[in-house]
Structure 1
Amino acid sequence: MSANTSWYLYNFRSSTIKALQDRGFAVVCLSPHDDYSQKLVEELGCRWCNLKLDNKGSNPFVDLLLFFRLLRFYKKEKPFVSFNFTVKNNIYGTWAARFSRSKVINNVSGLGTAFIREDFTSKIVRLLYRLSQPLANKVFCQNPEDMDLLIDNKLVSKNKLILIPGSGVNVNKFNPSMKLVRSFCEPFRFLFVGRLLGDKGVRELVSAAHKLASDGYSFTITLCGFAGVDNISALSPDELDSLEEFDYIQWVGSSDNIAQVYAKSDCVVLPSYREGMPRTLLEAGAMGLPSITTDVPGCRHIIIHGVNGLLCKVRCSESLADQMVAMMTLDSTSYN
């Protein structure tokens, strides 16, 4: 099982790993070293192998080295099946596994930066998808629009695609009984959970926050997630430093007990540009929290406007601010 971070495998694929182990499979995790690599071994009982991978880079020679690392790994391990997650693993992992005659199942959990942007690098990524994905045995995707895009752009043949609507949520861990009762006398508590990326709409969220603060609204926004990640749309160090100037925005880093973070919030905000089937919104719903998100693939498949949350326009801080005001000014009956 390979991905671009050990954090991803631990946080998003733990249930899959346990299910495979329960069926008698030995699971080997192949990912770059981070704080979660050892947890894959100690808590999940996997064997972990380090993978040197440059998430942000587009140097073809560096990526060629990645292919040979993967090829060497697959020829040595001879896995029954390779599960790949995230873009580079899906591309180079497919080639490497097929060269070593292993079965390949790829997971497209969301068509991210490479499919949002129209720059040269993004076009190259789409070309590499077109050249690699026909070699996969199966490709999972998480919403119908992503499936149609993959088919229409001839990136994956229809007979290899399987629609799986999200990774699911453990309702024993995320449930309404944990949620604190909202106090209508205190500042409204918004929560963003995810990597601090421009493509996740973080810049629009910060702009909306400044507008609400200037209009006199009482609220806080907690940003919970990694910063400084290898992604072209990541917030810069200067942008991160500037957040400290405002008492209504708090960046708390990542959390290993995210359910407790949800429990102390009144509303989740995810102004993303595009998603697969965002786990943040699924977890918020399981906790009984409303969400504000963008009217884009993935997000609008979870949030029904006016029912379990509100939808705003993508890349539009004004629309986001309007929906945040609408959420804050709901009476107790409408909110609940």
Structure 2
Amino acid sequence: MRKTKLLRITTVPMSLNILLTNQMRFMEKKGFEVLAVSSKGPEIDKIVKREGVRYFTVPFSRKISPITDFYCLLKLIFLILKKKPDMVHTHTPKAGLIGMLASKICGVKYRFHTVAGLPFMTSKGLKRKLLILIEKLTYWSSNYVLPNSESMRGVILEYKLVDTNKIKIIGFGSSNGIDLDEFNPQALKSKITNKILNKINHSKDKKYLLFVGRVVKDKGVTELVDAFINLEKRFENYTLLIVGPIENIRKEEGIPLHILDEIENNPRIMALGWSDDVKYYLDIADFLIHPSYREGFPNVLLQAGAMGCPIICSDIPGNIDMVEHKITGLLFKSEDTRDLQNKLEFAFHNRDKMIIYANNFLDIVKKKFNRETVQQELYNFYIQKLNE
């Protein structure tokens, strides 16, 4: 019997590698033949080895680039016509637009797009209108739109991007859940822990704030660094750890020069670059700070929850689906340095309460967001649609 052929598409391979870890392998084990598509990148060999899938590259660009985008559309159309997938499932905005359009043009019967963030929410003027139009075109080209959180679903409906009957949330949300065997303090290797402790010159007399993500404007780095600077004289035992690449590829994503200067030169701020060992930093940190302006259903919050690391995050869609203020963490008003500063002060003075919040969130993560459960829910959705 011929296997159902599933084509998974993301803009860059990092998304398949990190956001959808082991999901394609899960579907392969369930009887699907899975093909993966993204732009080129160093993660591809690792993905192919881990997931056991065939991989194809299309030169997607995250920037708005009509000529490149049209070329990618044509290349993807030819790929779809050649490989004849039964089902196309896209993830990330540019892959969603081009992947859904190409699969609709080619007559693919089952077309699904996961929404894990809405770029227009942090844009203005003509660019905002263009990005809204792109979302509408992506959703029009799909059979089902799969927002990965209830609040994201609410935003989609608020802006009338698609009819309600085309929206489906898989399980309780999340694109891929969390591997509770991996993100488990008991599973950490002491050799790696000691290596990181040495790297940050760890001291038991210090407390550590942790930021994980791309160092760009939309991740709220400016507000975080400003709040930290405002507090550092009164809380001299705190250090800010920044785990993620510093990116200034696009002008609108850049952060102010004075913030970059603080990151590079402030002795109590450590820019550690990209790391595959986030779980170790979460185990070391006293608090995770997640000040992003827009999200879908951020994995780092699930990771922090599984590791028992207390959370302080912005009150945006995605975050608010997981963190309930003073129940499972602290929420502050997005893009508000003063409010973030106030919440940091609360956390510094109420460490016992923060641990209670973290334990509450750990219980929720275990009950609702175990990776295998989330993947099974997605598989059930695929099978339901195939049988209709």
Q: Which amino acid aligns with 1:302?
A: M
Q: Deviations over 1:71-114 (max 9, x none)?
A: 12211221121110111111111110111122211000122x32
Which residue of the partner structure matches residue 213 of structure 1? 232
Give the drift of 1:202.
0.9
- The question of 1:306 aligning with 2:313 is answered no
Q: Which residue of 2 aligns with 1:129?
A: 135
TM-score normalized by structure 2? Answer: 0.79
- Conserved 8 A contact 1:188-1:328: no
**How far apart, in 1, do the equivalents of 2:137 and 2:57 lie?**
26
**DSSP 3-state at the match of 2:71:** helix
Q: CA deviation at 1:335?
A: 3.6
1:48 Cα deviation from its structure 2 partner: 1.5
Is 2:284 the counterpart of 1:264?
yes
Q: Identity over aligned residues, as a percent?
A: 27
Runs of at least 4 residues off by over 6 Å: none
Q: State the one-letter code of the partner of 1:43.
A: R
**Secondary structure of residue in 1 paired with 2:9:** coil
Unaligned runs of 5+ in 1: none
Q: 1:281 aligns with which of 301, 307, 321?
A: 301
Q: Kindly state the Cα deviation for residue 267 of structure 1 after the two structures are TM-superposed.
A: 0.8
Q: What is the deviation of 1:178?
A: 5.7
Decide which moves more: 42-51 or 95-104.
42-51
Residues 229 and 69 of structure 1: CA distance in aligned 2, closer, same or farther (over 3 Å): farther
2:155 match: 149
Question: Counterpart of 1:71 in 2: which secondary structure?
Answer: helix
Q: CA deviation at 1:307?
A: 2.5
Give the match for residue 373 of structure 2: none
Query: Given the superposition, is the C-alpha separation of residues 237 and 115 from structure 1 closer, same or farther in structure 2, using an over 3 Å criterion?
Result: closer
RMSD of the TM alignment (CA)?
2.3
Q: 1:302 to 1:231 in 2, by over 3 A?
A: farther
**Structure 2: gaps of 5 or more residues:** 1-7, 194-201, 357-388
Residue 22 of structure 2 contacts residue 50 of structure 2 at CA under 8 Å; is this kept in 1?
no
Residue 207 of structure 1: how far off its partner (Å): 0.9
Quick one: distance in 2 between partners of 1:241 and 1:70? 42
Give the one of 34, 44, 54 matched to 1:47. 54
Letter aligned with residue 87 of structure 2: V
1:187 aligns with 2:206: yes
Alignment length, in residue pairs? Answer: 332
Structure 1 partner of 2:94: 88
1:2-41 alignment runs, 5 A limit:
2-41=9-48
SS at match of 2:168: strand
**Paired amino acid for 2:13:** S
1:139 corresponds to: 145
Would the aligned equivalents of 1:223 and 1:251 in 2 still touch at CA under 8 Å?
Answer: yes
Amino acid corresponding to residue 65 of structure 1 in structure 2: Y
